[in-house]
Structure 1
Amino acid sequence: MDSSVVVENIYLLVIVTLISVLQNAFFAQKVERECKKPDGHTSAFERLSCANRNCMDAYPTFLAAMWCAGVCLTQAPAAFAGIVYLLVRQKYFIGYLGQTCQSTPGYLFGKRIIGFLLLMSVVGVFNHLLRRYLGGGYKEYVETITNAASALLLIP
């Protein structure tokens, strides 16, 4: 594959990654602002800190799955799933500010999106192996199915 085609095909993934970095900065700022309040370490600070830690624990897995799915299979559905994941992560973080049970739907939906990205990665690798060793190129069919399936992520 030509290197200019590879670079051309990763801009959406780069944009989603940069948005996720800004979201991480927003989360860190919220935790820092709560920490600097005069009443010290309140339950709100503990909840914010815990939500931030949980988001950061899943962050490397999300990035790896999104980039693998985008590079190995197709970029647009991977970037779309990445944007949906960031919205769900925002819902999880904000939900954690209230009752802990309010964050559960965001957590479960985020797991589903990471599973979708992982499945896209596996299909992309499998397609590459098929094309390389059996000479069959099913990538177009797989991309069509993946593009259609990415819309299913919006169903709760």
Structure 2
Amino acid sequence: NIYLLVVVTLISVLQNFFAQKVERECKNRNTSGSAFQRVSCARNCMDAYPTFLAVMWCAGVCLSQPAAFAGIIYLLVRQKYFIGYLGQSSQTPGYLFGKRIISFLSLMCVVGIFNYLLWRYYGSDYKEYVETITNAASALLLLP
């Protein structure tokens, strides 16, 4: 099931090309303060990209399906974020939603590592229970 993570990673690489295009267009459009603020805020989302990849892969190694789903949702939110800054809006669409998804992926990493340690040292494997809970919790990510 690691192929789902590979697909999400490749889509995110393509999205980075779009993000760079958005940054160039905003810089070329206007040199006023509002355009500068939109570009610098869009860069904040680019700065979170390495963190997203790290936690998505870490969670994906432990629990593949929910991590890939959360990764796709994050990419959709990130696209909305970039398109919002390409327009004349000065709001931050999707920024907090993206942070919530990264927090969910981080929690999945911790739970997956904890489950591995339980299996390694105590012989108790709770992977089925953890996958059931994370599958149900990943549906909650769709709530705005």
Q: Please confirm whether the aligned pair reaches a TM-score higher than 0.5, indicating the same fold.
A: yes
Q: How does 1:1-156 map to 2 (within 5 A)?
A: 9-36=1-28, 41-43=31-33, 45-72=35-62, 74-96=63-85, 97-100=87-90, 102-103=91-92, 105-156=93-144
Count of matched residue positions in the alignment of Structure 1 and Structure 2: 143
Partner Cα separation in structure 2 for residue 70 and residue 154 of structure 1: 19
Partner Cα separation in structure 1 for residue 120 and residue 105 of structure 2: 22
Distance of aligned partners of 1:36 and 1:111 in 2 relative to their CA distance in 1, 3 Å threshold: closer
User: Partner letter of residue 119 of structure 1?
Assistant: L
Q: 1:44 Cα deviation (Å)?
A: 5.9
Map of 1:5 onto structure 2: none
Question: Percent identity between the aligned chains?
Answer: 68
Could you say which structure has the larger radius of gyration?
1
What TM-score, normalized by structure 2, do the two folds share?
Answer: 0.89
User: Partner letter of residue 132 of structure 2?
Assistant: T
Partner Cα separation in structure 2 for residue 60 and residue 66 of structure 1: 10
Question: Unaligned regions of 5+ residues in structure 2, if any?
Answer: none
Q: 1:36 Cα deviation (Å)?
A: 4.2
Q: 1:151 Cα deviation (Å)?
A: 0.5
Q: 1:45 Cα deviation (Å)?
A: 4.3
Map of 1:3 onto structure 2: none
User: Partner letter of residue 78 of structure 2?
Assistant: R
